[in-house]
Amino acid sequence: MSSDTEKHRELLAALKGAQGKSDGSFEQAVTNAFQHVFDHLGRLNSHVSLGGAEGEDRQLRSDESATLR
């Protein structure tokens, strides 16, 4: 998790550093930040199923946390 925290700091620093520049660096920093967010969402989504026909949640596996739902 510490490497992820460091990545978050890097992304925020890049956004702050690129603000107001007209060289495309801000757009690139935003794209990078959103890609990281989408990666997080993809990982979270892989832990949650769509449920059955009645929309019920599946049972948690032994290595899963209920907070992921």
**Domain residue ranges in the chain:** 1-36
Per-residue pLDDT of 10-66, as tens digits, reads 999 999 999 999 999 999 999 999 999 999 888 887 766 555 555 566 667 777 776
Look up residue 4 and give its two tokens. 């992820």
Please state the separation of Cα 68 from the chain's center in Å: 13
Confidence (pTM): 0.63
Give the residue from 13, 15, 8, 9 showing the smallest Cα distance to 29: 15
Give the residue from 38, 31, 39, 37 showing the smallest Cα distance to 14: 31
Per-residue pLDDT of 26-39, as tens digits, reads 999 999 999 999 99
Q: Coil, helix or strand for 7?
A: helix
